[in-house]
Amino acid sequence: MKVREVMTNNVRSMFNNSSIKDVATEMKILNVGSIPITSRDNRAVGIVTDRDIVIRSLTGQGDVNSPISSIMTSELISVSPDTDIHEAARLMAEKQVRRLPVVENGNLVGIVSLGDLAVRDVYANEAGDALSNISLPDRNMR
């Protein structure tokens, strides 16, 4: 099974020059914990989590009016729509992330989460293993 079969297609992203406050407000409205960050031409350039906003902006890396690019994770770990979901789960576990932007030709086309993998009974064990690895003590403050 491929990522394209389980990913969320209608994913909301924010521009890299959006303010931290605007991104946090969008997260609240959408009730999500992360938002992919794109350039104006829909190129995936990063991702920001609610944890990034709290830890990075409240510890002096940016105030609420700073651009999100000042605190986002710019080393984007992503997959293509044609990635096998076993590989996506393995990557999530290895990189200790719960969500992967889905990128095709540099453009954001979706997002896949551990929850997307877990709802498929056949992949529940793999998603559980990935979550176990992700939930280990965070050595790198991702």
pLDDT tens for each residue of 32-48: 999 999 999 989 999 99
The mean pLDDT of the chain is: 85
What tokens were used for 40?
Answer: 């104006």
Please tell me whether residue 41 adopts helix, strand or coil conformation: coil
Question: 23: which residues sit within 8 A by CB, 6+ positions away?
Answer: 14, 35, 48, 53, 68
Q: Mean pLDDT, to the nearest integer, of 60-86?
A: 90
Q: What was the pLDDT predicted at 129? A: 57
Residue ranges of the domains in the chain?
Answer: 3-134
The CATH class of the 3-134 domain is alpha beta
Please tell me whether residue 102 adopts helix, strand or coil conformation: strand
Q: What was the pLDDT predicted at 137? A: 52
Higher per-residue confidence, 130 vs 40: 40
What tokens were used for 128?
Answer: 């559980």
Q: What was the pLDDT predicted at 133? A: 54
CA nearest to 23, candidates 85, 67, 77, 79: 67
Q: What was the pLDDT predicted at 120? A: 61
